[in-house]
């Protein structure tokens, strides 16, 4: 099976163009250069990825990977992270009102926690830089490709990728090419998306690429008390890249980006009312009916009382240097990133200011340095070795409370947290080409993680003393430290059994570093240090191309066994009840996934992807009982030290549908010498999804399927395009999250909607100009 090994900057574009038969496939697994993205030809498709830190054909990579090209992202109207789940069946997304808590789930495994001191089990990499916190505001503009890598990936991609990795790669500057593109999308609910790119050559050795975007949509949750709508979008951003290539053996790429998001956040609605008579009275007053279709609230202070909320700012700068040292390739990536959030919520969910402080200011900084040295390809022994350093600082000023006791007297707890993390690693991999058709790969990574947190909980000056106790936290100044050492590894055997077919098997030991139970609340009797998460992972897969390379079929069987899995629970033993992170005793996920892509005729692409995932807790006892349950011998809910708890061993993992599949098709056909008809459609379906680890029957999203489609015209060989689209054609209702409602203290539940739960229409217009 043919390989192409090059560095990731300008040389990658050359590889894409030089590889025999690089043509753009329209949907999952398609990779192409900017110039080739509009090309539709038959046969000899090469799909290029960098899953092993080398540029390779995806069919040569012994990993389970789904790759989505920038052209597919445009065609499918993928505007945010959740949309990727439509084309990657092993991928789901956990939405959350706290941006640092949202994240990807792969093969049923992912981390969702309000704690900003626990990282994701599915890592996100943006242009070669591992993100300590997930970011999505600027993620899907001028994209080259997105790679979804299933299974542990910490060996080569930095820290904390015990379940998998989403690798986002944006387009780099192109030497000697003057180019530009612009797009405008206008849709229902006030949707307006604008983006533009300019590629400027500066002589023969320098090029600059500038990107800007602006997005807005109206909200779809109604506040009847304030006559406002929430959960819309309002963000903008910029990205610039400078490529300097003074010689064929030297490339320097400098990247910088900035994004600001003042969206109204994720405001929940009441799905089921509990025993909070005050909330029930307001619902009756404003004729609000709690239920699955409820879009109404009565918030007095929807974004809380902390000044400046809501605000999210993401910015960063990085430099990648690629140098040939003799026959070896040296890569250095240095990056600095900073996130700033001001977030607050109306925790009592009524017009009264009883609990209108429930957030604050969050500042996050990270610095990373990676060095890699790689041998040349196509040798009997190929190797790669590297060093990695990560440092982060996370400062949180959290306020919680309001006019809880007296209508004129504040009762507010303040918790200042200074969380610091360091990680050091050395890694390497070796490939032995035992024969023309047989290869053995082995690699290892030694990691040392150090964490430190100092937290000071106190009452706001002038407020009623004892506020810390009201939110279930011990007052005072506390410090925690933790450190771990780990060696993770992976071994893979590959066997070509035909000219375009490969069978592979792998075994891996994965790792995710330690964390802390919360960002500030110190609960009596609760262990604050969260132990590292570890996993045994085994894959057997096949990759094959046939029908004169007009078809590919990839499939994999997988089994993963986690210990000390880091998960969030809803603890009803605190006053008030609250979320905290803990270690689950054990977790197993197993299943099968497959991908089929066909190009039966010029301009026609068909795809089918599916995943069956059986992910269950193996040893997780002591979890709080479902919110509406009482202690009973029949339901398994029992009292332990005064706490109602349940053993959830054997329950399905939360946010893990058992079965997912998606179908897609695109067709481009000439209708005149200067115009092409563009047709595209995709359908994605998932089975029931449980949102709670305790198996609460009231937090299940029933199975549903979503159909999307578009029709358009391409003019002047793709330079101009207009496309009308529909999302969720059949108006299928669903929610992204169902959870216990802490404001409705006995049996109440909240739900979080996506704007795509309603049918959406729109038109996108694009212009692409190249020399």
Residue 25: pLDDT over 90: no
Mean pLDDT of 568-585: 61
Look up residue 388 and give its two tokens. 């990695």
Residue 64 lies in a domain: yes
Higher model confidence: residue 569 or residue 658? Answer: 658
Looking at residue 112, its pLDDT comes to 63
Contact assessment for residue 505 and residue 490, using Cβ atoms and an 8 Å cutoff: no
**What sections of 107-160 are H helices per DSSP?**
none
pLDDT tens per residue, range 87-108:
888 888 877 666 666 778 898 8
Q: Is the Cβ–Cβ distance between 280 and 214 less than 8 Å?
A: no
- Percentage, residues of the chain above pLDDT 90: 56
With H, G, I as helix, E, B as strand and everything else as coil, classify residue 328. strand
Q: What is the DSSP string of 627-648?
A: TT----TTT--EEETTEEEE--
Is residue 39 pLDDT above 80, yes or no? Answer: no
Residue 5 lies in a domain: no
Query: Which tokens belong to 352?
Result: 């009264």
Structural domain includes residue 3? no
First to last CA, the chain: 34
Q: What pLDDT is recorded for position 99?
A: 64
Closest by alpha carbon to 117, among 503, 453, 604, 459? 453
| Alpha-carbon 601 to chain mean position | 35
Residue 460 CA, chain-centre distance (Å), reads 36
pLDDT higher at 523 or 383: 383
Helix (H, G, I), strand (E, B) or coil at 17: helix
**Residue 301: C-alpha distances to residues 230, 633, 745 (Å):** 12, 42, 20
Q: Which two tokens stand for residue 310?
A: 């809501």
Look at the chain and report how many structural domains it folds into: 1
When computed from its CA atoms, the radius of gyration of the chain, rounded to whole angstroms, is 26
Q: Regarding beta strands 129-130 and 122-126, do their DSSP bridges make them parallel or antiparallel, or are they unpaired?
A: antiparallel
What does the H/E/C string look like for 355-398?
Answer: CCEEEEEEEEEEEEEEEEEECCCCCCEEEEEEEEEEEEEEEEEE
Say if 2 falls within a structural domain.
no
What is the average per-residue pLDDT within 556-560? Answer: 96
Please compute the mean of the pLDDT values over residues 193-207 and round it to a whole number: 96
DSSP 171: P
Least confident of 456-465, 503-512, 720-729: 456-465
Average pLDDT over residues 30-43: 35
- Which letter does DSSP use for residue 652 in this model? B
Question: Looking at the predicted structure, is the pLDDT value of residue 35 above 60?
Answer: no
374 domain residue, yes or no: yes
Cis previous bond, 35, omega within 30: no
Does residue 204 lie within any of the structural domains? yes
Whether the pLDDT of residue 654 is over 70: the answer is yes
Query: What pLDDT score does 570 carry?
Result: 58
Q: Write the CA distances from 379 to 337, 430, 432, integer angstroms.
A: 38, 11, 9
Q: Is 552 contained in some domain?
A: yes
Give the number of residues written for the chain: 771
Chain segment 451-486, per-residue pLDDT in tens: 998 888 888 888 888 776 666 667 788 888 888 999
Q: Which three-class secondary structure state does DSSP give residue 334?
A: strand
Whether 335 maps to a domain, the answer reads: yes
pLDDT higher than threshold 60 for residue 21: no
- Among 107, 541, 578, 616, residue whose Cα is nearest residue 358: 578
Question: How far from 147 is each of 419, 478, 663, CA to CA, in Å?
Answer: 31, 41, 19
The 10s digit of each residue's pLDDT in 275-287 is 888 889 999 999 9
How many C-beta atoms surround the C-beta of residue 679 within 10 A?
16
pLDDT at 685: 96
- What is the domain-level CATH number for residue 494? 2.40.170.20
217 vs 77 pLDDT, higher one: 217
| Sequence-ordered list of residues with C-beta below 8 angstroms from that of 550, at least 6 positions apart, any chain | 42, 43, 45, 598, 599, 600
pLDDT score for 22 = 31
| pLDDT score of 311 more than 60 | yes
Domain that holds residue 246: 10-526+537-770
């Amino acid at each position: 099976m043919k390989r192409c090994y090059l560095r990731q900057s300008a040389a990658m574009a050359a590889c894409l163009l030089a590889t025999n038969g690089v043509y753009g496939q329209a949907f999952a697994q398609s990779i192409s250069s900017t110039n080739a993205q509009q090309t539709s030809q038959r046969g000899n498709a090469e799909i290029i990825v960098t899953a092993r830190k080398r540029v390779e054909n995806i069919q040569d990579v012994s990993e389970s990977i789904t790759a989505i090209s920038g052209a597919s992202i445009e065609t499918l109207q993928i505007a945010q992270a959740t949309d990727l789940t439509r084309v990657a069946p092993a991928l789901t997304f956990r939405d959350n009102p706290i941006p640092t808590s949202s994240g990807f789930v792969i093969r049923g495994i992912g981390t969702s926690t309000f704690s900003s001191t626990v990282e994701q089990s599915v890592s996100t990499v943006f242009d070669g830089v591992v993100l300590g916190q997930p970011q999505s505001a600027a993620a899907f503009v001028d994209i080259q490709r997105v790679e979804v890598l299933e299974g542990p990936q910490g060996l080569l991609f930095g820290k904390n990728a015990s379940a998998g990795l989403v690798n986002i790669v944006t387009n780099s500057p192109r030497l000697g090419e003057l180019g530009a593109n612009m797009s405008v999308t206008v849709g229902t609910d006030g949707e307006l998306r604008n983006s533009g790119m300019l590629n400027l050559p500066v002589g023969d050795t320098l090029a600059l690429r500038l990107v800007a975007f602006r997005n807005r949509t109206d909200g779809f949750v109604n506040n009847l008390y304030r006559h406002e709508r929430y959960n819309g979008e309002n963000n903008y951003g910029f990205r610039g890249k400078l490529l300097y290539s003074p010689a064929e053996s030297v490339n320097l790429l400098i990247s910088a980006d900035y994004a600001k998001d003042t969206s109204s956040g994720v405001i929940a609605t009441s799905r089921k009312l509990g025993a909070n008579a005050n909330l029930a009275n307001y619902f009756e007053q404003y004729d609000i009916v709690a239920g699955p279709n409820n879009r109404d609230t009565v918030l007095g202070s929807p974004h809380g009382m902390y000044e400046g909320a809501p605000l999210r700012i993401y910015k960063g700068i990085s430099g990648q240097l690629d140098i040939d040292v003799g026959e070896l390739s040296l890569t250095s990536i240095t990056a600095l990133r900073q996130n700033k959030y001001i977030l607050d919520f109306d925790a009592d969910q009524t017009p009264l200011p009883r609990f209108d402080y429930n957030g604050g200011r969050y500042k996050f900084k990270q610095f990373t340095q990676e060095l890699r040295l790689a041998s040349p390809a196509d040798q009997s022994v190929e190797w790669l070795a590297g060093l990695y350093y990560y440092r982060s600082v996370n400062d949180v000023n959290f306020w919680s409370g309001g006019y809880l006791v007296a209508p004129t007297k504040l009762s507010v707890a303040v918790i200042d947290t200074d969380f610091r993390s360091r990680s050091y690693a050395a890694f390497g991999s070796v490939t032995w080409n035992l024969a023309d058709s047989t290869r053995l790969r082995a690699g290892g990574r030694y990691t040392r993680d150090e964490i430190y947190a100092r937290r000071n909980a106190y009452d706001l000056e002038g407020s009623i003393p004892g506020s810390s106790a009201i939110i279930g936290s011990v007052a005072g100044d506390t410090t925690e430290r933790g450190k771990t050492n780990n060696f993770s590894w992976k071994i893979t055997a590959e066997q070509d059994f035909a000219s375009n077919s490969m069978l592979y098997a792998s075994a891996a030991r994965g790792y995710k570093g330690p964390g802390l139970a919360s960002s500030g609340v110190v609960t009596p009797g609760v262990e604050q240090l969260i132990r590292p998460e570890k996993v045994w992972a085994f894959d057997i897969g096949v990759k094959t191309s046939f029908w004169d390379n007009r078809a590919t079929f990839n499939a994999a069987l997988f089994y993963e066994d986690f210990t000390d899995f880091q998960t969030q629970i809803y603890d009803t033993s605190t006053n008030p009840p609250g979320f905290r992170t803990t270690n689950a005793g054990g977790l197993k996920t197993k299943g099968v996934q497959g991908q089929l892509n066909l190009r039966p005729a010029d301009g026609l692409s068909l795809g089918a992807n599916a995943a069956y995932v059986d992910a269950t807790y193996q040893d997780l006892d002591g979890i709080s009982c479902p919110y509406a349950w009482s202690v009973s011998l029949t339901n398994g809910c029992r009292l332990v030290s005064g706490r109602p708890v349940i053993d959830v061993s054997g329950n399905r993992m939360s946010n893990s549908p058992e079965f997912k599949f998606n179908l897609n098709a695109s067709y481009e056909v000439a209708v005149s010498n200067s115009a092409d008809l563009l047709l595209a459609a995709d359908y994605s379906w998932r089975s029931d999804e449980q949102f709670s680890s305790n198996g609460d029957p009231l937090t299940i999203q029933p199975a549903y399927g979503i159909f999307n489609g578009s029709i358009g015209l391409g003019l002047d060989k793709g330079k101009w395009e207009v496309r009308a689209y529909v999302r969720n054609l059949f108006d299928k209702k669903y929610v992204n999250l169902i959870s216990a409602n802490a404001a409705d203290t006995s049996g109440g539940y909240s739900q979080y909607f996506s704007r795509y739960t309603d049918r959406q229409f729109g038109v996108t217009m694009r212009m692409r100009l190249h020399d």
